[in-house]
Amino acid sequence: MPAKRRKLLNLRYVTRLRGLVKLSQTIWAIMLYTAIQFDLDFQDYPAQKITYHMCPFLITFNLIIINGYTAFPHLTIKDGPTRNGMLFTVILP
């Protein structure tokens, strides 16, 4: 990776609390999805069926948020001083 591009990445987001929460949400959603998938009678319970069908959307949403704040901080954070200090909030957990 070129040094100029590495400076543009916001890799500190992954080490901060909000980034760690997003990573842990993604890991838990993947684990839950695979656990339900290997349970043969998940179609019998409505809660498992809803969770099984919502997990891919949660995983995709979290990966988009993580990618947006890491690779494109200039697009996801509008305010200049906020972007420079990397003080931001995630609207949807």
The answer as to whether 50 is a domain residue is: yes
pLDDT at 88 over 80: no
**Number of other residues whose CB lies within 10 A of the CB of residue 30:** 15
The answer as to whether 76 is a domain residue is: yes
Rounded-to-integer distance, Cα 5 and Cα 44, Å = 50
The answer as to whether 33 is a domain residue is: yes
pLDDT at 1: 56
Domain that holds residue 59: 25-85
Please count the structural domains in the chain. 1
The answer as to whether 38 is a domain residue is: yes
The answer as to whether 39 is a domain residue is: yes
Percent of the chain with pLDDT over 70: 70
pLDDT at 57: 93
pLDDT at 29: 92
Burial label for 11, CB within 10 Å (0-12, 13-18, 19+), is exposed
Which of 6-10, 12-16, 50-54 has maximum average pLDDT? Answer: 50-54
Rounded-to-integer distance, Cα 52 and Cα 47, Å = 8
pLDDT at 10: 76
pLDDT in tens, 32-76: 888 888 877 777 888 888 888 899 999 999 998 888 888 777 666
